[in-house]
Amino acid sequence: MTGLEATGRLRPYGIMGAEDTAHVFDAIEQHGGRARFVGGVVRDALLRRDLHDVDIACDLGPDETTSALEKVGIRVIPTGIKHGTVTAITDAGAYEITTLRVDVLSDGRHAEVAFTDNWLEDAKRRDFTFNAIYCDLDGTLYDPFDGQTDLGDGRVRFIGTAENRIAEDFLRILRFFRFQAWFGRPPIDPVGAEACRKGARGLLDISPERIRDEMLKLLRAKSPAGTVGEMIGFDILPVILPQLTQPANLRIMQWLDSTALADPAIQPDPLRRLAALFKPTDDNDVSANIAEEFARSLRLSNTEVDRFSAMISDAVLIESDLDADTVRRDLYRIGADRFRDAVLLAWSMRASVPPRCTQDENKGWQNL
């Protein structure tokens, strides 16, 4: 079986209906190929979210795809020829086009692939059911693993056997929890979560940069604290980032930056949320050093390292009842942005432990 059965339709949405998009699809089909949207662009279109990355699967090899596109004047970048991926550049945006493929060999970090014309085999190698939904240019949907139902139910579910998908790429553990934060609803899929727990030590072989990127993407979700709590409960963070132990602080932080404070200067910030998760020591100098070491271990930029360690060291010096002179001195000394970080972090740390902040305390924090 090289094809997939149609399962529904999707109304045109965003860049999927753009003239340049049709031009890309037509070029591939005029060359004898078949192209379909796949992955995040389909998932996000179903949810009517903003579309960013546009992924297209096709049954032409990367060289054929390049020839087809260049023949009609579309610029092509050989993004990852070895893995079958080229990027088409148009006025409407970039399209990442990947040949159908199967994994031949994987070490948990990188996979060797073989190209195929079998759409179902390409679908089987993907991570989660709602990331394996394909869509024709005309909106015809192909959903071999009932990903639409999972998406509607807020369930993040591995395709096939969870342990096998994880063994192919251990980063899928963090992707499982990231997608839970963005698209999931409680309860978390117990089969997938338990498979992640069993495979967690495989993350120790993943580069710090990839772990950093996944964590920051997770922390950009509106309310990630519940998912982070699951990551601690299923022994993911204790294995790879044992310094992150404060989901209660994060819960307050996400409430402050996304709900409680109607201030355009205060927006959800993944680095500030990461700081909320960090466990400081009783010695402020030691905490600042540990925070800097932790930030560097994640390969944060020098600017981010400085900001992260400053948040940890500044927060313990902030109280809700600071007098006006002290506030002015602190603003002069560290600047408004750094002072805002310190106040939000100090507030989240104080409000996450009993007794609850009084109304006067909360008013004091807000006035800062």
pLDDT in tens, 288-347: 899 999 999 999 999 999 999 999 999 888 887 787 888 788 888 888 899 899 989 999
Q: What are phi and psi of 90, to 5 degrees?
A: -130, 175
Residue 74 lies in a domain: yes
The reported pLDDT for the residue numbered 250 is 98
CA angle 83/299/297 to nearest 5° reads 120
pLDDT the model gives residue 325? 82
Q: Is the pLDDT of residue 366 over 90?
A: no
Instruction: Tell me: do 79 and 191 sit in the same domain.
Output: no
Do 184 and 78 share a structural domain?
Answer: no
Who has greater pLDDT, 242 or 324?
242
Answer whether residue 158 is part of any domain. Answer: no
Q: What is the pLDDT of residue 1?
A: 41
Contact indicator for 130, 144 with CB cutoff of 8 Å: no
Q: What is the pLDDT of residue 108?
A: 64
Q: Token digits for 251?
A: 């819960």
Residues in Cβ contact with 194 at an 8 Å cutoff, skipping those fewer than 6 apart: 162, 234
Give the residue from 173, 174, 170, 137 showing the smallest Cα distance to 56.
137
Q: In the prediction, which pLDDT does 360 show? A: 74
In a domain, 221, yes or no: yes
Structure tokens at 311: 């948040």
In a domain, 163, yes or no: no
Query: Of 153, 179, 204, which marks where a domain is finished?
Result: 153
Burial of 161 (0-12, 13-18, 19+ CB in 10 A): exposed
Do 297 and 368 share a structural domain? yes
Report the domain count for the chain.
Answer: 3
**Beta strand 85-89 pairing with 101-106:** unpaired
* CA gap 133, 43 in Å, rounded: 7
The answer to whether residues 331 and 254 belong to one domain is yes
Confidence of residue 16 (pLDDT cuts 50, 70, 90): very high
The set of residues, in sequence order, having a beta carbon less than 8 Å from that of 72 and lying 6+ positions away, is 23, 26, 27, 30
User: Is 323 part of a structural domain of the chain?
Assistant: yes
CA distance 267 to 246: 20
pLDDT of residue 338: 93
The token pair at 202 is: 């495989």
Q: Is residue 327 part of a domain?
A: yes
181 and 295 housed in the same domain: no
Domain CATH code at residue 30: 3.30.460.10
Residue 73 is classified by DSSP as T
Quick one: 58 and 149 in the same domain? Answer: yes
Q: Token pair of 199, please?
A: 């495979």
pLDDT given at position 363:
77
Scored b (16 or more CB within 10 A) or e, 298-318 reads bebeeebbebbbbbbbbbbeb
What is the pLDDT at residue 112?
80
Q: CB-based contacts of 69: which residues, under 8 Å, 6+ apart?
A: 24, 27, 28, 76, 86, 88
Q: Which of 129, 153, 177 is the last residue of a domain?
A: 153
Residue that is last in its domain, among 212, 241, 270: 241
How far apart (Å, rounded) are the C-alpha atoms in residues 151 and 185?
A: 10
Residue 319 DSSP code: -
User: Which two structure tokens, joined as six digits, stand for 123?
Assistant: 């679908």
Same-domain check for residues 143 and 20? yes
| Same domain assignment for residues 232 and 275 | no
**354 preceded by cis ω (within 30°)?**
no
b vs e for 241-279, b when ≥16 Cβ sit within 10 Å of the residue's Cβ?
Answer: bebbebbbbbbbbbebbeeebeeeebebbebbbbbbbbe
State residue 107's pLDDT score: 67
Q: Are residues 235 and 368 in the same domain?
A: no
Q: Does residue 24 sit in the same domain as residue 104?
A: yes
The pLDDT tens digits for 88-135 are: 999 999 999 999 999 886 766 777 889 999 999 999 999 999 999 999
Q: Does residue 147 form part of some domain?
A: yes
In terms of residue numbers, what domain contains 186? 169-241
**Model pLDDT for residues 42-65, shown as the tens digit of each residue:** 999 999 999 988 999 999 999 999
**Domain-embedded: residue 1:** no
pLDDT tens track for 304-314:
999 999 999 99
Instruction: Tell me the pLDDT band of 261, cut-offs 50, 70 and 90.
Output: confident
* Of 213-222, 340-349, 359-368, minimum mean pLDDT range: 359-368
Q: Does residue 20 sit in the same domain as residue 142?
A: yes
Least confident among 68-82, 89-103, 200-214, 280-294: 280-294
The enclosing domain of 231 has a CATH number of: 1.10.110.30
Q: How far is CA 196 from the centre of its chain?
A: 17
Q: If you compute the radius of gyration of the chain from its CA atoms, what whole number of angstroms results?
A: 23
What angle is formed at CA 96 by the lines to CA 93 and CA 100, rounded to 5 degrees? 150
C-alpha 37/C-alpha 25 separation (Å) is 10
Handedness of CA 37, 39, 41, 47 (dihedral sign): positive
Nearest residue to 246 (alpha-carbon basis) of 276, 215, 219: 276
Cα separation, 214 vs 66, whole angstroms: 31
Question: Do 257 and 361 lie in a common domain?
Answer: yes
